[in-house]
Amino acid sequence: MLKVEHLKKQYASFSLDCSLEVKPGYVTGLIGQNGAGKSTTFKAILGLIHYQGLVEVFGKSVLNEEDKQLLGVVLSDSGFSGYLTISDIIPILKHLYKSFNQTFFLRMVSQFELPKNKKIKEFSTGMKAKLKVIVAMSHQAKLLILDEPTAGLDVIARDELLDMMRDYMAEDDQRSILISSHISSDLETICDDFYMIHNGRVMMHEDTDVLLSDYALLKVDFKQFEQLDKDYILKYKKESYGYSCLTNQKQYYTENYPDIVIENGHIDDVMTMMIRGE
């Protein structure tokens, strides 16, 4: 569906070298701190910036107008002109997308209680975010590229949007989503796999199931740390009580070190340890 190999982009104080893949039927997450290179990666995939390396969407390196019909996009910092209203954008979408589903679009607009005749620039952050996701999902896209789609939403609205994404995937098992979010719980519940990006480099790629089942945070005091088998410790970090250690072999430590505190791994913990740990 989407293949990125050594996508390189050089800015004055930042360089990106990123590889990732989104398989058909997969929801793939891209996580990282602000400025890690997530948006640059998205922009390169969408052909918005010039780059070096390989980006293939639907097996093609250059997207034509027909290919773009099959893409649904949410960008965190960009959308339809704020001077337009929802009523204005309906005929625009109808003439741009061959498969625009107006009934679905209007149903979602009323479900999320979005005003049809108010200028988008007068919308709240949450309303704008909802509209962006509805637009992306309203034309039977094969691949959704969603950069921070849940930013600025409250918990209920976030859950509603995540449900929409699940329904969207359930409708067709060949659809895929590439999604970035700073809310890790969103990604844990929806992503099949995820890539962690830091300073423009992919630090980690893992299946979400594996992360949740095999990764763990060991909390040990100084003495326990000295005695600990460090073969399966990926990263460790000094804490006030001793050390916190990240492992991808939870079972091994659960069986062999029954006295130490072992917490299940979550994306946030893994990201913090991968970035801050030694």
Footprint of other proteins on residues 178-217 (CB under 8 A)?
A: none
- For other proteins, the binding residue among 2, 20, 27, 71 (CB under 8 A) is 71
Can residue 96 be called a binding residue for other proteins (CB under 8 A)? yes
Asked if 83 interacts with other proteins (CB under 8 A), we say yes
What letter would DSSP give residue 121? Answer: G
CB of 91 to other proteins, least distance (A): 5
Indicate the residue type of 250.
Answer: K
What's the rounded Cα separation, in Å, for the pair 245 and 17?
Answer: 28
Q: Strands, DSSP E only, in the chain?
A: 2-11, 14-22, 27-31, 52-57, 71-74, 143-147, 176-180, 193-198, 201-207, 216-220, 233-239, 242-247, 261-264
Amino acid letter, 29: G
81 binds other proteins (CB under 8 A): yes
Q: Does 80 bind other proteins (CB under 8 A)?
A: yes
Assigned token pair, 142: 């094969």
Q: Binding to other proteins by residue 223, rule CB under 8 A?
A: no
Options 22-30, 69-77, 158-166, 251-259: segment touching other proteins (CB under 8 A): 69-77
21 in contact with other proteins (CB under 8 A)? no
**How far apart, in Å, do the first and last CA atoms of the chain sit?**
35
- Asked whether position 73 contacts other proteins by CB under 8 A, the answer is yes
Stretch that binds other proteins, among 29-37, 92-100, 104-112, 262-270 (CB under 8 A): 92-100
Pairing of strands 242-247, 233-239: antiparallel
- For the bound state, the minimum distance from the C-beta of residue 186 to other proteins, rounded and expressed in Å, comes to 21
Q: Which of 220, 206, 212, 229 is nearest to 259 (CA)?
A: 220
3-class SS of residue 90: helix
Closer Cβ to other proteins, 72 or 242, answer by number: 72
Stretch that binds other proteins, among 74-82, 150-158, 196-204, 239-247 (CB under 8 A): 74-82
- Candidates 88, 93, 194; CA nearest to 137 is 93
**What is the nearest approach in angstroms of other proteins to the Cβ of residue 50?**
6
Q: Which of 8, 235 has the CB closer to other proteins?
A: 8
Site residues for other proteins per CB under 8 A: 43, 46-50, 64-66, 68-69, 71, 73, 75, 77-84, 88, 91-97, 121, 145
